[in-house]
């Protein structure tokens, strides 16, 4: 968990990092790392800063315990913004549908909450 940078003390960033720290228990990885991500976003490899390519790797189904039964969540607190780790200020992630906002760090999305509730067996 990294909170050592300026701007890392907003509640959304803290929630994001806590979900990372829960990987051992919950399996929360970045939304854009889902195996089906190419249906929803384009990863612009040529714009990714050297040394950060691993942040855009896809995971196989079964390596995480979440999101196999949920739709792709552009609003997830676990989704990178369009310019994260950009080497040239150009987008590293482009939604395939125009007008989609990605990378919010304000709150858990309804799907984030549903995935956590599902893990713990909580009813809606």
Just list the catalytic residues.
17
For residue 42, give the H/E element and its range: strand 41-43
Is there a contact between 74 and 104 (Cβ–Cβ < 8 Å)? no
Cα(first)–Cα(last) distance of the chain, in Å?
A: 29
d(CA 7, CA 91): 21
Q: Nearest-CA neighbor of 88 among 48, 30, 41, 52?
A: 48
Q: Which residues contact 81 (CB under 8 A, 6 or more apart)?
A: 93, 102, 103
Strand partners, 43: 93
């Amino acid at each position: 968990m990294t909170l050592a940078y300026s701007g890392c003390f907003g509640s959304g960033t803290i929630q994001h990092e806590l979900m990372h720290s829960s990987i051992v228990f919950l399996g929360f990885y970045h939304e854009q790392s889902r195996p089906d991500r190419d249906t929803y976003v384009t990863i612009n490899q040529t714009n990714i800063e050297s040394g950060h390519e691993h942040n855009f790797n896809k995971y196989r189904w079964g390596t995480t315990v979440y999101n196999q039964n949920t739709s792709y969540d552009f609003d997830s607190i676990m989704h990178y913004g369009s310019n994260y780790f950009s080497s040239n200020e150009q987008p590293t992630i482009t939604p395939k549908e125009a007008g989609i906002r990605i990378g919010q760090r304000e709150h858990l999305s309804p799907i984030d909450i549903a995935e956590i509730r599902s893990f713990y067996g909580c009813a809606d």
